Amino acid sequence: MLVKEAKAIIGSLGYPSKMPCLSYGLPACEAKWVPEFCKNLNLPIPPHYGCDFGSLLAKNPDSPCHNCYADNRGNYTYESLKHGQLLRLLGTYHSLWKDAMIMLIDRYIDPSEPYFRWLDSGDLPHKKMLHDIVEIANALPHVKFWLPTQERRLVSKFLRYNKKPDNLCIRISNVRKDSHAPESTTTFKFFAKNVITSSSISTENKHNCPSDQYDNTCGPCRKCWDTGNEHTIYKLH
């Protein structure tokens, strides 16, 4: 596969300014703009788009998904950004998406910062993407991957029959603000062969994420990629 062919399949890799690494973001929340956008660009409407569970949580003011930063707000209103998210989403359905991602991540990853973040916006749209993410991590053991998600049911079903690679940190987001019980001791306590981590949002300055010390960037911290870090508490955006 040529590099240009791989890029045509995946859409593009993201370079978020607050992160120390590459990323891959998708349309967030209900993503109601997707069908009209596809129509205007003469693109197929994907079978699934937006956040499945997250779009339901977004209706609850006590949920961290309520007023999501990626839900058609700020930079996420730009058509160029939406176009990129849409092409990435469509790419996840391609049979060669996994192989294209392996090639491009390996090509463009910074060897001094071998980290990658999945879903800096959006969530897992289908089980194929989760299976492919696991295979990508297996193929690139020198890269540390972080997958934040609300799709605990999808992850739970996968883990019943599959082993997660050590270099993939799946971090389940808690469903309520200021609720900091690690999901690894509740939903996933029976999956001893897999280490699952979690995260939550604090509105009470009880966060342990140090981003506010580094101008809302990661700074030198890489705990979100660390499976030894059982639970991260973020400050409300």
Q: How far apart are CA 12 and CA 176, in angstroms?
A: 32
pLDDT at site 187: 55
Residue 66 above 70 pLDDT? yes
Determine contact, residues 88/97, Cβ cutoff 8 Å.
Answer: no
Where residue 119 falls (left for φ over 0; alpha for ψ -120 to 50; beta otherwise) is: left
How is residue 37 written in tokens?
């956008």
Q: Angle CA(91)–CA(167)–CA(46) in degrees, nearest 5?
A: 15
Q: How far apart are CA 213 and CA 199, in angstroms?
A: 19
The alpha carbon torsion through 67, 184, 225, 172 (nearest 10 deg) reads -30
pLDDT at site 79: 83
pLDDT at site 189: 53
In what helix (H) or strand (E) does residue 235 lie, and over which residues does it extend? strand 231-235
Residue 188 above 70 pLDDT? no
pLDDT at site 186: 52
- For 130-158, how does the pLDDT look when each residue is reduced to its tens digit (9 = 90+)? 999 999 999 999 999 999 999 999 998 88
pTM for the model stands at 0.91
Which one is predicted more confidently, 124 or 204? 124
Q: What's the mean pLDDT when you consider all of the chain?
A: 89
Q: Is the dihedral of CA 231, 234, 72, 60 positive or negative?
A: positive
Which one is predicted more confidently, 3 or 190? 3
Locate the domains of the chain by residue range: 3-235
Summarize the confidence of residues 169-189 as an average pLDDT: 76
pLDDT at site 190: 47
What amino acid occupies position 66? H
pLDDT at site 165: 94
pLDDT band of residue 193 (cuts 50, 70, 90) is low
Q: Of how many residues is the chain composed?
A: 237
Query: Mind giving me the DSSP string for 38-49?
Result: HHHHT-PPPSS-
- For 23-62, how does the pLDDT look when each residue is reduced to its tens digit (9 = 90+)? 999 998 889 999 999 999 999 999 999 999 888 888 888 8
Determine contact, residues 235/37, Cβ cutoff 8 Å.
Answer: no
